[in-house]
Structure 1
């Protein structure tokens, strides 16, 4: 099936709300000790007010990947400092696919479109945070040449996890 990638607009807030809740839970539920904490995190990340504000922000871009229906999305924040590094660049905040749509090169195409957009904006550097336990995602990004920069803690009331910062010159 043909994949198209488009820029999201204000009218896509409800779609991103639904996709975000579904994909995050499907991919990461097993990493959370507390389902209530995960639900709170999802509500914060994919609440309609948050999404509407983000879609209107000039320094943030959302992309939607579609075949006959939406299959995934990504969010990028432009010109963002990399923590404790003195560098800045495009931060890939999110890149998620419907679990039934993984393994079809949609993630690769979505990531390549982000690299292309960052180069057009002359960002020079692309970075992201990935859960240390998410080995599959780390290998995906490392295959593009992203390198480990540092580890940072992700702490909730019931757990502590390691988040890895990866980055690459683009």
Structure 2
């Protein structure tokens, strides 16, 4: 088993393994659905079941480019971090880049500098791997997240409409944000 990655004395990352799926599912059922419930016809059940089931987790962990972690703060699992590299979006070419795929934190952890520490970690990894940029997707309706990423140096490069029928139509706009590292 991999050793945890300590980002500071209270914050660490532990690699998610296939056998962690029940814990991952339970955590994300709470952490994801709380802030995103309003965008889904079913409150987010379909999405959580799709993304955090055993089959999807096994498939994601089998990819060499995937790096998937529990975020632990004060010795408690409070969220997840997943990044993939090299990886470019389908909608626009972003060569030699890292995708910040998932960064979800329990609402109790907001405002503690944790998300910034996680982004700093991603930047360090990207630079160590000689990547040119980091990109992510954010729902346009998630104003707080969008504001945070812009404050961290990310800029909008594209907007598109997500084709998930279970998301209410007015919330389907997705932004691709990018931060250049060179």
**Aligned counterpart in structure 2 of residue 17 of structure 1, from 9, 13, 25:** 25
| Structure 1 residue 59 displacement after superposition | 1.1
Q: Which moved more, 1:131-140 or 1:38-47?
A: 38-47
More helix by share: 1
Aligned twin of 1:165: 176
Structure 1 unaligned blocks of 5 or more: none
Deviation per CA, 1:114-146, whole angstroms, max 9, x where unpaired? 111111122211100000000100111111110
| Structure 1 residue 94 displacement after superposition | 0.7
- Mapped to 2, the partners of 1:23 and 1:40 lie a distance apart of 15
Aligned twin of 1:51: 57
Aligned twin of 2:14: 6
SS at structure 1 position matched to 2:122: helix
- Mapped to 1, the partners of 2:79 and 2:29 lie a distance apart of 12
| Structure 1 residue 149 displacement after superposition | 0.5
- Mapped to 2, the partners of 1:5 and 1:42 lie a distance apart of 21
Contact kept in structure 2, 1:16 and 1:51, CA below 8 Å: no
Q: Provide TM-score, normalisation by structure 1.
A: 0.89
More strand by share: 1
SS at structure 1 position matched to 2:152: coil
Aligned twin of 2:4: none
| Structure 1 residue 102 displacement after superposition | 1.1
Q: Provide TM-score, normalisation by structure 2.
A: 0.84
**Aligned counterpart in structure 1 of residue 45 of structure 2, from 39, 45, 63:** 39
| Structure 1 residue 93 displacement after superposition | 1.0
Aligned twin of 1:78: 85
Structure 2 unaligned blocks of 5 or more: 1-8
Matches within 5 A, 1:52-71: 52-66=58-72, 67-71=74-78
Contact kept in structure 1, 2:82 and 2:100, CA below 8 Å: yes
- Mapped to 1, the partners of 2:163 and 2:49 lie a distance apart of 17
